[in-house]
Amino acid sequence: MSRTNTTAQEIPQEIERFNIIFRIQHILMFSTFLILSFTGWGLKYAYEPQGLSSIWIRIWGGAETAGLIHRIAGVTMLVDFIWHVLYLGYLFATKRMTIDLKTTVIPLPKDVFDVIKNFMYFLGLSKEKARFGKYSYAQKFDYWAVFWGMFIIGFSGYALAFPMQVSYIIPEFTTGWIWQLLGIMHSDEALLAIVFILFWHFYNEHLKPEVFPMSWIWITGKISTEKLKHHHPIEYEMLFPDEAKKDKKE
């Protein structure tokens, strides 16, 4: 090893972006999401197209079995979500995770400006793309969409799956409309979730030329420093300030 190559900081080949617990939570989330979408779709569009939904539901073992699969997957997803929230609480409580504006997934005004900046770039009005911290606005959108979905679809789904238990805790004055509201919430927002995942998440993490067929971070949890520098420059500069300064001089 020659002395000329030493820098103040050794740059690793790759860094860990998501630890094993986050990765397991993500796998549970997407596998239950797919099962729920497949089984729920048959019920939402039970009458159309003609007869196809009946065949589709039969593939899932008939209406009773498909319903059971849907409930098991739904409860698993809810447990996964609660686990995630508790785990975040644990990380904050033990100071393993702190809020930093450059690494947080919390939406900030900067994200709105980033969207505008990128649209300007797409339209050729600007020559610079937005520069991101640890999470781009697209990733933040993905993340918080799950929270919205869990509150709207998840808890309405729980009430619909276990109506008898839930009926004891709903207030008297809501009984005239709450059941219909729950059904509408569950069904309409599930469609929103499917459309969102199909267009937003699938494009950004699978179909985009630079990640096709998929971004492997979901399974390795690691991102190469090269990619980090390219896609998350603000985080890169924060992690390796000396290297970033050197890059700028060159």
Partner 1 sequence: MSYKKFLIFVAPLLFLSLFLPRDGFPQESANCLACHSAMKGRLETSGGRLIELNVDTDRFRTSVHGSLSCTDCHMRFSENPHSLPSAPVPSSVLSVSSKVSSKHTVDPVAAAACNNCHEDIYKKVLDSVHGRNITEKNKTDGALCLDCHGSPHYITRSTDPGSRVSRKNQVETCGKCHGDEKIIEKYSLEENVMESFEESFHGRKLHLGHMRAPVCSSCHNAHDIRTKDDPASPVFGKNKLETCGKCHKGANEKFIPAITHKPAGPIPHYAEIGLIFLTMGVFAFVVLHVLLEAFSDIRDAIFRKGREE
Using CB under 8 A as the binding rule, whether residue 122 contacts partner 1 is answered as yes
What mask of x and - would describe binding to partner 1 in positions 175 to 214, judged by CB under 8 A? Answer: xxx-xxx-xxx--xx-xx--xx--xx--xx---xx-----
- Tell me which residue of 41, 36, 31, 27 sits closest to 70, measured CA to CA: 36
CA neighbor of 214 nearest in space, from 224, 222, 206: 206
Smallest separation, CB 243 to partner 1 (Å) = 16
* 53 beta partners: none
Q: How many CA atoms lie within 13 A of 71 on its CB side?
A: 11
CA-nearest of 93, 175, 179, 107 to 139 is 107
The reply on whether position 124 binds partner 1 by CB under 8 A is yes
The answer to whether residue 170 forms part of the interface with partner 1 (CB under 8 A) is: yes
Pick the closer one to partner 1 by CB: 11 or 170: 170
Among 3, 172, 213, 250, binds partner 1 (CB under 8 A): 172
Nearer to partner 1, 61 or 241 (CB): 61
Q: In whole angstroms, how close is the CB of 96 to partner 1 at the nearest point? A: 33
Site residues (CB under 8 A) for partner 1? 42-43, 46-47, 53-54, 57-58, 62-64, 66-67, 118-119, 121-124, 160, 163-164, 167-168, 170, 172, 175-177, 179-181, 183-185, 188-189, 191-192, 195-196, 199-200, 203-204, 208-209, 230
